[in-house]
Amino acid sequence: MVRAHMEMVKALLDGSRSIVALTGAGVSAGSGIPTFRGPDGLWKKQRPEDLARVDAFSQHPELVWEFYNWRREKVGQCTPNPAHMALAGMDKQVPNFLLITQNVDGLHTQAGSHRLMEMHGSLWRVQCSVCTYAREDRSSLPDMPVCPVCGHLLRPGVVWFGEPLVPGVLKVAIEAISSADIFLSIGTSNLVQPAASFYQLAKDHGAVTIEINSEPTPNTGLMDFALHGKAEDILPELVLGMSD
Ligand code: APR
């Protein structure tokens, strides 16, 4: 990481009144949650099309539930790390702030972030695969949980490949990004749309774009600043430099 860039980013954040931060699985890596595409990533061992598509759920709901119940159990044992805490600190300090996360682990909420959008849903939400029933639920679920209203199968409240985002999310994200001074892309490989294109919208509206990631991504060369290292190391240092 270039130290001079770190100092410049600190100064920019300190003077900013409007920040949008986009996070991905790298932010939770420091909590012990595997990313999707790294060497030990979830999608290296499992094929996403077998587990994270609506047709996979129609064909093999038991396999999909086995995968999600396993993730709920693992993630349920994890706690927020300094990257989550630093972003919760930014939420308190910056007048106009929005955190958009692709993560479904709930750790930003646990860390105390309030102005937050979980654009891919949540592991801790279950919803009916047929009717409109939905609930927050952190308990240990049966292998094939059913809807208490209509008796059909419940499904995880996450957005699968090929599905639309949680309703309203894109509109709120576009509005916030279009008026931000600074756009942060943190711990995401920037390979999944539409999140991977948010930086372009920010740039088009004059924001400074900053990437914080342990390795370069396809967007790195297009960002104004790129800080390469662990989010849990970099973010606390950046937030420490911000005055109230
Ligand atoms: N700090 C910062 N970055 C890290 C860290 C860390 N400690 N550890 C890993 N990374 C980086 C990796 O180098 C990688 O570029 O985080 C990125 C994680 O990328 P992905 O695994 O692709 O995760 P993400 O970008 O969140 O995936 C997007 O894809 O499978 C879907 O719906 C799923 O929301 C997910 C979406």
What domains does the chain contain, in order, with CATH numbers? 3-33+80-120+165-240 (3.40.50.1220), 48-76+129-158 (3.30.1600.10)
- Ligand 1 pocket mutation, candidates 214, 223, 227, 235, criterion most atoms within 8 A of CB: 214
pTM recorded for the entire structure: 0.95
Question: What is the predicted pLDDT for the residue at 177?
Answer: 98
Question: What is the predicted pLDDT for the residue at 65?
Answer: 96
What string of DSSP letters covers the chain?
A: --HHHHHHHHHHHHT-SEEEEEE-THHHHTTT---SSSTT-HHHHS-HHHHSBHHHHHH-HHHHHHHHHHHHHHHHT----HHHHHHHHHHHH-SEEEEEE---S-HHHHHT--SEEETTEEEEEEEESSSS-EEE--SPPPSS-B-TTT-SBEEEEEPPBTSPPSTTHHHHHHHHHHT-SEEEEES--S-STTGGGHHHHHHHTT-EEEEEESS--TTGGGSSEEEES-HHHHHHHHHHT---
- Ligand 1 pocket mutation, candidates 118, 186, 189, 234, criterion most atoms within 8 A of CB: 189
Residues of the chain with pLDDT under 50: none
Rounded to the nearest angstrom, the distance between the alpha carbon of 27 and the centre of ligand 1 is 8
Pocket of ligand 1 (CB under 6 A): 24-26, 29-30, 35-38, 41, 48, 102, 120, 187-189, 191-192, 213-215, 217, 230-232
Rounded to the nearest angstrom, the distance between the alpha carbon of 76 and the centre of ligand 1 is 19
Rounded to the nearest angstrom, the distance between the alpha carbon of 6 and the centre of ligand 1 is 21
Question: What is the predicted pLDDT for the residue at 52?
Answer: 87
Rounded to the nearest angstrom, the distance between the alpha carbon of 35 and the centre of ligand 1 is 5
- Ligand 1 pocket mutation, candidates 42, 158, 213, criterion most atoms within 8 A of CB: 213
| Residue in 108, 120, 205, 228 annotated catalytic | 120
Report the nearest atom of ligand 1 relative to the CA of 230: 1
Rounded to the nearest angstrom, the distance between the alpha carbon of 163 and the centre of ligand 1 is 20
Question: What is the predicted pLDDT for the residue at 244?
Answer: 65
| Residue 114 bears catalytic tag | no
Query: Sign (positive/negative) of CA torsion 113, 119, 120, 122?
Result: positive
